[in-house]
Amino acid sequence: MLGAAQKPLRIATFKVDATPPTGTPLCDGLVIPSVRVDDPLTARGIILLSDEKPIVLFAIDWVGIANGGHDLWRETLAKAAGTTPDRVAVHALHQHDAPGFDTTAEEILSKHGLAGKLYNPAFGQQTLERAAQALRLAIKKPVKVTEIGLGRAKVDQVASNRRLLGPDGKVKYVRYTATRDPVIRAEPEGTIDPYVWLIAFWNGNRPLASLTYYATHPQSHYGKGAVTCDFPGLARGLREGELAKVAHIHFNGAGGNVTAGKYNDGAPENRMVLARRLAEGMKSAWENQKKSAVNGSDVRWKVVPVSLPLGGRTDEKQLEAIIDDTNQKEAERLRAGRDLAYLSRVRAGRKIELTSLKIGPGFVVHMPGELFIEYQLAAQNTRPDEFVTMAAYGEYGPGYIGTRIAYSQGGYETGIVSRTAPEVEDVLMAALKELLR
C-alpha cells in the first residue's frame, strides 16, 4: 500500500465558452459594446489533486476580474473543487475586446443609474456557473500524472516595453499596443521577459496538459466592438491544432508595462502575425522541455496576504460626485466607480492573497493587477538557477502596479490610473521572497 508521501499527482482540466452576447460592455465600458464576434472567448482551468486539498489554476479571456467579483469566482470554484478559496488562482488574459467582472463596482454604479454599463452581470454570473459545473464534472475523472515537463523559449518580435524615457528620466513616449509613429517604434525593446514559459503534464508517454505564460498586453487592435481572444488566444488555438488531445491553458505574465507596440502598427493582419510568433515560441518551449518524475508530495502551495498602499484618487466624496455628475463622460464615471470599489475594500481591511505553486523543480507565482515586468524578473532573480514563472492579472482591483521609481517618472500607468502608491514595491518584493522561500 502506498504511503502518504507516495500518493500520485492527479489532474483534471475543464473549459467553457466565455463569449459575451451582442451589446455587452467591453473593456470595462472603455470601448463600444460588442457588435460581433471575431474569435470566441474561453475560460479554462486545471485542478491539481495531491497530498493536500485541491488546487485550482484558472484563466479566462476577459479584461479583468476585480474586487467582489474576484472573491466570488474563487469562492465558487473552490466550492466546486472541494477546497478553500486561498487555493484557487483566478486570472484574466486582459484582452480589451472582452468583458470584465466586478460585483463591487457594479453595486456602487447601479445606485447612480449606471447598472450594467461596466459589464453584463447576468452573462458574467452564467459563465461563472458554467465554469463551476464543468469543474465539478472534470474532478470526477482525474488522470494520473507521472512526469512534468518544464520548458521555455524566446519569442521573437512580439513584446516591447511601453514606457520610453527621455534624457530627464521621465516618460517621453508611451508605446501603446498599436504604435504608428516610426520614431517611437524604432526605440529599443526595453525591459521585457523575452521568454514564454511552459509546464507540461504527462502520463507516461501521453501528454495531458500544457500551461504557458507570457508577459505582454495581449492586443493587436481593438475598440470596434469585435470580440476576440486576440493574438495570445489565437496562438493558443494554433497549438491546440498541433496537439489536439492536450489541454492548453495560457496565462498573461507581468505585462502591465509591456505591449507589442514596437512590432505592431495596428494593421488587422498583424494579429495573426503576432499569434504565429507566440505560437512558435510555445512550440519551441514544448520541444525543449525537461521532464522529471512527480508525485503528490512534490506539490506545495503557499499563501502570503498583503495590503497594498493606496495611491491615485482616494477622496470618497469626490469619487461619488464624479459618478453622480451626468455631465461627465460615462467612461470617467465608470472609472470613478472602479476607483471607489477598490478604495472601499482596502479601507475595510480586505487583503489580497498572493500565492505560489511549487511543482517538482518549478515555481509559479500568482500576482494581482497590471503588474510591471520588473516584478517578474525580480522573482526569477530570487532563484536564478531554477524555473520561475508568473501569472499576473489576478485580483484586478489595484489596476496598474508599478515599481517605486515609476511613480516619479510619469506616464499613463503610474501617473494617471494606478490605485497604488510607490511603497507598493517594498510590499511586493518582500512578498515575492516569502513566496519563493
pLDDT in tens, 327-351: 999 999 999 999 999 999 999 999 9
The pLDDT-based confidence of 382 (bands split at 50, 70, 90) is very high
C-alpha of 13 from chain center? 18
Q: What pLDDT does 6 receive?
A: 73
The whole-number average pLDDT for the span 252-281 is 98
Instruction: State the Cα–Cα distance between residues 342 and 414, nearest whole angstrom.
Output: 16
Give tens-digit pLDDT for 92-129. Answer: 999 999 999 999 999 999 999 999 999 999 999 999 99
Please name the residues in contact with 140: beta carbons below 8 A apart, sequence gap of 6 or more: 12
The pLDDT-based confidence of 300 (bands split at 50, 70, 90) is very high
On the question of pLDDT at 188 being above 60, the answer is: yes
Half-sphere exposure of 101 (CA within 13 A, CB side): 29
Query: 359 is written with which cell numbers?
Result: 511543482
DSSP annotation of 315: -
On the question of pLDDT at 409 being above 60, the answer is: yes
The pLDDT-based confidence of 5 (bands split at 50, 70, 90) is low
Q: How far is CA 22 from CA 48, 98, 130, 216, 309, in A?
A: 35, 12, 19, 27, 38
The pLDDT-based confidence of 402 (bands split at 50, 70, 90) is very high
C-alpha of 231 from chain center? 15
SS3 of the chain: helix, strand, coil, percent, to 5? 35, 25, 40
258-259 and 160-161 beta bridge pairing: antiparallel
- Region of 393 (left: φ > 0; alpha: ψ -120 to 50; beta: rest) is left
The pLDDT-based confidence of 431 (bands split at 50, 70, 90) is very high
On the question of pLDDT at 303 being above 90, the answer is: yes
